[in-house]
Amino acid sequence: MQTWTVAVANEKGGVGKTVTVINLGAALYLCNQKVLVVDMDPQANATKGLGVEVPENAPTVYDLLDPQTRFVARDAILPTAWDGLDVLPSHVDLSGAEIELADVEGRENRLKEVLTDLSGDYDYILLDTPPSLSLLTINVFSYARHVLIPCQTHPYAFAAMEELCDTIAAVKDAINPDISILGILPTFFDSRTRVSQRILNLMREDDRYRDLLFKTIVRANTAIIESADARRPVVFYRKSCYGAIDYNHAAEELMARVLSSQPVGPLAVGSAH
């Protein structure tokens, strides 16, 4: 089985990053793909959003990053309510991992080392990231071969993309020469507001982003918020709502882009794997 590793990242918080991980994972599952969600955010919202309760004293991704760990990745993986959609859970202690790994040689590759054995177990491994640049984010970029950037159609989120692309380029040069930007997924689009329309048009017109932009646009939809509260992906929670429709389309487009194995656009660094 070919395993495709996709980091979902944006250094700006509140852009729909975790919601995108949860719902793309579920939508890929509906496309008969075996999916693992790796929750690298100490807030553990991807874990919670998939309805997973982590048993007390069970290992999490935090334990796996410990250089002295006795666990392997499969020890920490938990099933969701949907067979074939699994999660490698996070824990609040993950927030201290950066300090604990500060003096560890090869600290930027710890995640890659512990996840390598999973290659072939899943069709897709989706990785949620913290809402800021950190050693955890660098670990994700060291491991992943693709980066999907969810970008809220808001001026601040749009402005933050340049810094993220610079970070990915730096990782490509120094750590992971194979990383590539898979695409940019517009999120929280509200056609009723001039701001959303203006930012979407800027994405479409900007030479840096035009060819990376997904055709799918995730529209603002209250069902997405409700599904997060219910701890169920929206594609299961309310199958006919805009949110479910948009994420199902986004999953289909993601698969098509990955399978094409051809990065596009001036910021699509590296090669696809």
Residue 136 has pLDDT above 60, yes or no: yes
| Residue closest to 137 by CA, chosen among 266, 259, 271, 11 | 11
Report the C-alpha dihedral over residues 202, 203, 204, 207, rounded to 10 degrees. Answer: 100
Is residue 44 left, alpha or beta, with left meaning phi > 0 and alpha meaning psi from -120 to 50?
left
265 CB-near residues (< 8 Å, 6+ apart):
181, 208, 209, 210, 211, 212
Of 62, 27, 24, the residue nearest 46 (C-alpha): 24
Distance in angstroms (rounded) separating the CA atoms of residues 216 and 209: 14
Contact 86, 79 (CB under 8 A): yes
| Residue pLDDT, tens place only, 144-160 | 999 999 999 999 889 88
**The pLDDT value given to residue 261:** 57
Look-up: residue for tokens 């990231």?
Answer: 129
Secondary structure class of 125 (helix, strand, coil): strand
Q: What does the alpha-carbon distance between residue 44 and residue 39 come to, in Å, rounded to a whole number? A: 6
Q: What is the pLDDT averaged over residues 227-254?
A: 94
> Is the CB of residue 194 less than 8 Å from the CB of residue 209?
no
Q: Cα-flanking dihedrals φ and ψ of residue 160, to 5°? A: -75, -15
Helices (H), 116-241: 135-143, 155-174, 194-205, 222-230, 234-237
pLDDT beyond 60 at 262: no
Strand 85-88, strand 78-79: pairing: antiparallel
- The band of 106, judged by pLDDT with boundaries at 50, 70 and 90, is confident
pLDDT at site 270: 37
Distance of CA 136 to CAs 30, 87, 128, Å?
A: 29, 17, 10
Q: Tell me the residue type at 214.
A: F
Distance CA 6, CA 155 (A): 25
Alpha carbon dihedral 5, 189, 43, 127, in 10-degree steps, equals 0
15 band by pLDDT with thresholds 50, 70 and 90: confident
pLDDT tens-digit series, residues 162-191: 889 999 999 999 999 999 999 999 999 999
Q: For all residues of the chain together, what is the average pLDDT?
A: 90
pLDDT 10s digits, 81-95: 999 999 999 999 888
Q: What domains sit in the chain, N to C, each tagged with a CATH number?
A: 4-260 (3.40.50.300)
Inform me whether the pLDDT recorded for 272 exceeds 90: no
Is the pLDDT at 7 greater than 80, yes or no?
yes
